Amino acid sequence: MKNAISNNVIVVKHPLCEHNLGVIRDKNVSSDGFKNSMKRLATILILEATKELPLKSYRIETPIKECDVQKLDNGYKIIFAPILRAGLAISDVASAIIPDASIQHVGMYRDETTLEPVWYYDKTPVLYENPQKVKVFILDPMIATGNSSHAAISLFLKKGILIENMVFVSILSCPEGLNLLCRDFPELKIITAQIDECLNERGYIVPGLGDAGDRLFNTFEK
Ligand code: URA
Protein backbone atom coordinates (compact mmCIF):
# COMPACT_ATOMS: atom_id res chain seq x y z
CA MET A 1 0.00 0.00 0.00
CA LYS A 2 1.22 3.49 -0.88
CA ASN A 3 2.39 5.53 2.09
CA ALA A 4 -0.62 7.65 3.00
CA ILE A 5 0.13 8.67 6.58
CA SER A 6 -1.70 11.97 6.97
CA ASN A 7 -1.12 15.16 8.91
CA ASN A 8 -3.78 13.95 11.31
CA VAL A 9 -1.29 11.47 12.78
CA ILE A 10 0.38 13.21 15.70
CA VAL A 11 3.56 11.69 17.09
CA VAL A 12 3.95 13.14 20.57
CA LYS A 13 7.56 14.16 21.18
CA HIS A 14 8.54 14.27 24.83
CA PRO A 15 11.58 12.98 26.71
CA LEU A 16 9.27 11.06 29.03
CA CYS A 17 7.71 9.31 26.04
CA GLU A 18 11.18 8.24 24.88
CA HIS A 19 12.13 7.15 28.38
CA ASN A 20 9.01 5.09 29.02
CA LEU A 21 9.12 3.56 25.54
CA GLY A 22 12.64 2.47 26.41
CA VAL A 23 11.26 0.76 29.50
CA ILE A 24 8.33 -1.06 27.85
CA ARG A 25 10.33 -2.28 24.86
CA ASP A 26 12.77 -4.09 27.15
CA LYS A 27 11.80 -7.76 27.36
CA ASN A 28 13.42 -8.06 30.80
CA VAL A 29 11.14 -5.49 32.44
CA SER A 30 8.62 -7.00 34.88
CA SER A 31 4.91 -6.91 34.13
CA ASP A 32 4.50 -4.33 36.91
CA GLY A 33 7.24 -2.11 35.44
CA PHE A 34 5.67 -2.52 32.02
CA LYS A 35 2.23 -1.52 33.30
CA ASN A 36 3.53 1.55 35.16
CA SER A 37 5.44 2.88 32.17
CA MET A 38 2.50 2.16 29.89
CA LYS A 39 0.30 4.25 32.19
CA ARG A 40 2.80 7.11 32.23
CA LEU A 41 2.82 7.09 28.44
CA ALA A 42 -0.96 6.89 28.37
CA THR A 43 -1.21 9.98 30.60
CA ILE A 44 0.89 12.05 28.21
CA LEU A 45 -1.05 10.84 25.18
CA ILE A 46 -4.45 11.42 26.78
CA LEU A 47 -3.51 15.01 27.62
CA GLU A 48 -2.61 15.53 23.97
CA ALA A 49 -5.71 13.71 22.68
CA THR A 50 -8.10 15.77 24.80
CA LYS A 51 -6.50 19.13 24.00
CA GLU A 52 -9.41 20.27 21.86
CA LEU A 53 -12.30 19.27 24.09
CA PRO A 54 -14.88 22.06 24.00
CA LEU A 55 -15.12 24.41 26.97
CA LYS A 56 -18.03 26.50 28.17
CA SER A 57 -18.15 29.56 30.42
CA TYR A 58 -19.76 29.16 33.79
CA ARG A 59 -20.38 31.77 36.46
CA ILE A 60 -19.20 30.59 39.87
CA GLU A 61 -18.31 32.08 43.23
CA THR A 62 -14.85 31.70 44.68
CA PRO A 63 -14.62 32.19 48.47
CA ILE A 64 -13.69 35.80 47.54
CA LYS A 65 -16.03 36.86 44.70
CA GLU A 66 -18.04 35.83 41.64
CA CYS A 67 -16.15 35.15 38.42
CA ASP A 68 -16.42 33.42 35.06
CA VAL A 69 -14.58 30.13 34.61
CA GLN A 70 -14.18 27.70 31.73
CA LYS A 71 -15.14 24.08 32.29
CA LEU A 72 -15.73 21.15 29.97
CA ASP A 73 -18.88 21.78 27.96
CA ASN A 74 -21.44 19.47 29.51
CA GLY A 75 -23.39 19.52 26.25
CA TYR A 76 -20.92 16.93 24.97
CA LYS A 77 -20.72 13.34 26.15
CA ILE A 78 -17.17 12.02 26.46
CA ILE A 79 -16.54 8.34 25.85
CA PHE A 80 -13.36 6.35 26.34
CA ALA A 81 -13.54 3.12 24.37
CA PRO A 82 -10.73 0.75 25.30
CA ILE A 83 -10.21 -2.17 22.94
CA LEU A 84 -9.88 -5.16 25.27
CA ARG A 85 -7.73 -6.12 26.79
CA ALA A 86 -4.62 -3.96 26.38
CA GLY A 87 -6.66 -0.75 25.98
CA LEU A 88 -7.49 -0.99 29.71
CA ALA A 89 -4.05 0.40 30.58
CA ILE A 90 -5.03 3.62 28.79
CA SER A 91 -8.65 3.82 29.99
CA ASP A 92 -7.54 3.51 33.62
CA VAL A 93 -5.56 6.74 33.40
CA ALA A 94 -8.05 8.43 31.06
CA SER A 95 -10.90 7.95 33.52
CA ALA A 96 -8.74 9.23 36.36
CA ILE A 97 -8.21 12.44 34.36
CA ILE A 98 -11.86 12.81 33.25
CA PRO A 99 -13.88 10.92 35.85
CA ASP A 100 -17.26 11.85 34.33
CA ALA A 101 -16.46 10.17 31.01
CA SER A 102 -18.27 6.97 30.08
CA ILE A 103 -16.07 3.89 29.57
CA GLN A 104 -17.49 1.76 26.77
CA HIS A 105 -15.45 -1.41 26.31
CA VAL A 106 -15.11 -3.09 22.97
CA GLY A 107 -13.69 -6.59 22.88
CA MET A 108 -11.95 -8.15 19.92
CA TYR A 109 -9.30 -10.79 19.70
CA ARG A 110 -7.10 -11.37 16.72
CA ASP A 111 -7.52 -14.56 14.75
CA GLU A 112 -3.89 -15.65 14.60
CA THR A 113 -4.31 -17.19 11.13
CA THR A 114 -6.16 -14.46 9.26
CA LEU A 115 -5.04 -11.57 11.57
CA GLU A 116 -8.68 -10.39 11.36
CA PRO A 117 -10.49 -9.18 14.50
CA VAL A 118 -13.14 -11.39 16.06
CA TRP A 119 -15.71 -9.50 18.15
CA TYR A 120 -16.65 -10.89 21.54
CA TYR A 121 -17.90 -7.85 23.47
CA ASP A 122 -19.51 -4.50 22.70
CA LYS A 123 -20.61 -2.22 25.51
CA THR A 124 -21.68 0.64 23.23
CA PRO A 125 -25.40 1.47 23.30
CA VAL A 126 -27.60 0.39 20.38
CA LEU A 127 -28.34 4.07 19.73
CA TYR A 128 -26.60 7.24 20.89
CA GLU A 129 -28.86 10.10 21.88
CA ASN A 130 -27.59 13.10 19.91
CA PRO A 131 -24.53 11.37 18.38
CA GLN A 132 -23.18 14.65 16.96
CA LYS A 133 -22.53 15.73 20.54
CA VAL A 134 -20.45 12.68 21.44
CA LYS A 135 -16.65 12.71 21.60
CA VAL A 136 -15.09 9.26 21.38
CA PHE A 137 -11.52 8.36 22.26
CA ILE A 138 -10.68 4.86 21.04
CA LEU A 139 -7.86 3.37 23.07
CA ASP A 140 -5.50 0.61 21.98
CA PRO A 141 -1.78 0.65 22.77
CA MET A 142 -0.90 -0.95 19.43
CA ILE A 143 -1.89 -0.05 15.86
CA ALA A 144 -0.46 -3.09 14.10
CA THR A 145 -2.39 -4.41 11.07
CA GLY A 146 -4.98 -1.73 11.86
CA ASN A 147 -7.76 -4.29 11.43
CA SER A 148 -9.20 -4.11 14.95
CA SER A 149 -8.77 -0.32 15.04
CA HIS A 150 -10.65 -0.18 11.73
CA ALA A 151 -13.47 -2.34 13.11
CA ALA A 152 -13.83 -0.15 16.23
CA ILE A 153 -13.87 3.10 14.22
CA SER A 154 -16.44 1.61 11.82
CA LEU A 155 -18.65 0.61 14.74
CA PHE A 156 -18.79 4.19 16.05
CA LEU A 157 -19.33 5.62 12.55
CA LYS A 158 -22.26 3.24 12.06
CA LYS A 159 -23.78 4.58 15.27
CA GLY A 160 -23.65 8.14 13.96
CA ILE A 161 -20.51 9.42 15.71
CA LEU A 162 -18.73 11.96 13.51
CA ILE A 163 -15.21 11.10 12.42
CA GLU A 164 -14.09 14.59 13.46
CA ASN A 165 -15.33 13.79 16.97
CA MET A 166 -13.17 10.67 17.24
CA VAL A 167 -9.55 10.39 18.32
CA PHE A 168 -7.54 7.17 18.25
CA VAL A 169 -4.95 6.89 21.01
CA SER A 170 -2.19 4.37 20.55
CA ILE A 171 1.21 4.06 22.19
CA LEU A 172 3.00 2.31 19.33
CA SER A 173 2.03 2.20 15.70
CA CYS A 174 3.52 1.09 12.40
CA PRO A 175 3.20 2.22 8.78
CA GLU A 176 1.00 -0.72 7.70
CA GLY A 177 -1.77 0.01 10.22
CA LEU A 178 -1.52 3.78 9.89
CA ASN A 179 -1.72 3.60 6.11
CA LEU A 180 -4.90 1.57 6.32
CA LEU A 181 -6.55 3.95 8.79
CA CYS A 182 -5.42 7.10 6.97
CA ARG A 183 -6.63 5.70 3.64
CA ASP A 184 -10.11 4.81 4.92
CA PHE A 185 -10.53 7.58 7.54
CA PRO A 186 -8.44 10.54 6.36
CA GLU A 187 -10.10 12.91 8.87
CA LEU A 188 -9.41 10.69 11.88
CA LYS A 189 -6.99 12.13 14.40
CA ILE A 190 -4.45 9.57 15.65
CA ILE A 191 -2.18 10.21 18.62
CA THR A 192 0.81 7.95 19.05
CA ALA A 193 4.16 8.01 20.83
CA GLN A 194 6.16 6.36 18.04
CA ILE A 195 5.86 4.91 14.55
CA ASP A 196 7.93 1.72 14.34
CA GLU A 197 9.58 0.11 11.32
CA CYS A 198 7.08 -2.48 10.10
CA LEU A 199 5.00 -5.56 10.90
CA ASN A 200 6.42 -9.05 10.88
CA GLU A 201 4.74 -12.05 9.24
CA ARG A 202 2.85 -12.82 12.48
CA GLY A 203 1.39 -9.32 12.62
CA TYR A 204 3.68 -8.06 15.40
CA ILE A 205 5.16 -4.57 15.34
CA VAL A 206 8.95 -4.51 14.76
CA PRO A 207 10.88 -3.75 16.91
CA GLY A 208 7.74 -3.19 19.02
CA LEU A 209 7.31 -4.63 22.48
CA GLY A 210 5.71 -8.02 21.92
CA ASP A 211 2.13 -8.73 22.94
CA ALA A 212 0.97 -5.73 24.97
CA GLY A 213 -1.88 -7.65 26.64
CA ASP A 214 0.36 -10.51 27.75
CA ARG A 215 2.96 -8.13 29.10
CA LEU A 216 0.37 -6.04 30.96
CA PHE A 217 -1.46 -8.97 32.49
CA ASN A 218 1.55 -11.27 32.96
CA THR A 219 0.19 -14.03 30.78
CA PHE A 220 3.35 -14.80 28.86
CA GLU A 221 3.73 -18.41 27.78
CA LYS A 222 7.42 -18.80 28.53
N1 URA B 1 -0.64 -6.42 19.29
C2 URA B 1 0.34 -6.43 20.21
O3 URA B 1 0.09 -6.51 21.40
N4 URA B 1 1.62 -6.34 19.78
C5 URA B 1 1.95 -6.23 18.48
O6 URA B 1 3.13 -6.13 18.17
C7 URA B 1 0.89 -6.23 17.55
C8 URA B 1 -0.40 -6.31 17.97
Index of the ligand 1 atom closest to the CA of residue 212:
3
* Secondary structure (DSSP) of 9-75: EEE---HHHHHHHHHHH-TTS-HHHHHHHHHHHHHHHHHHHTTT--EEEEEEE-SS-EEEEEEE-TT
pLDDT the model gives residue 1: 52
pTM over cut 0.85? yes
pLDDT the model gives residue 6: 79
The single-letter code of the amino acid at 162 is L
The single-letter code of the amino acid at 176 is E
pLDDT the model gives residue 202: 93
Index of the ligand 1 atom closest to the CA of residue 213:
3
Q: Which residues have C-beta atoms less than 6 Å from ligand 1?
A: 86, 142, 144, 203-205, 208, 211-213
Q: Residue 79: which of 61, 105, 55, 58 has the closest Cα?
A: 105
- Output the tens digit of pLDDT for each of the chain's 222 residues: 556 777 899 999 999 999 999 999 999 999 999 999 999 999 999 999 999 999 999 999 999 999 999 999 999 999 999 999 999 999 999 999 999 999 999 999 888 888 889 999 999 998 899 999 999 999 999 999 999 999 999 999 999 999 999 999 999 999 999 999 999 999 999 999 999 999 999 999 999 999 999 999 999 775
Rounded to the nearest angstrom, the distance between the alpha carbon of 103 and the centre of ligand 1 is 22
Distance, CA of 83 to CA of 122 (rounded, Å):
10
Q: Residue 21: which of 38, 36, 44, 45 has the closest Cα?
A: 38
Q: Assess contact for 8 and 189: CB atoms under 8 A.
A: yes
- Residue nearest (by alpha carbon) to ligand 1 atom 4: 211
Rounded to the nearest angstrom, the distance between the alpha carbon of 26 and the centre of ligand 1 is 15
Distance, CA of 214 to CA of 169 (rounded, Å):
19
Angle between helices 88-97 and 31-49 (to 10 degrees): 50
- Residue nearest (by alpha carbon) to ligand 1 atom 7: 204
Which are the catalytic amino acids? 110, 114, 211, 214
pLDDT the model gives residue 76: 97
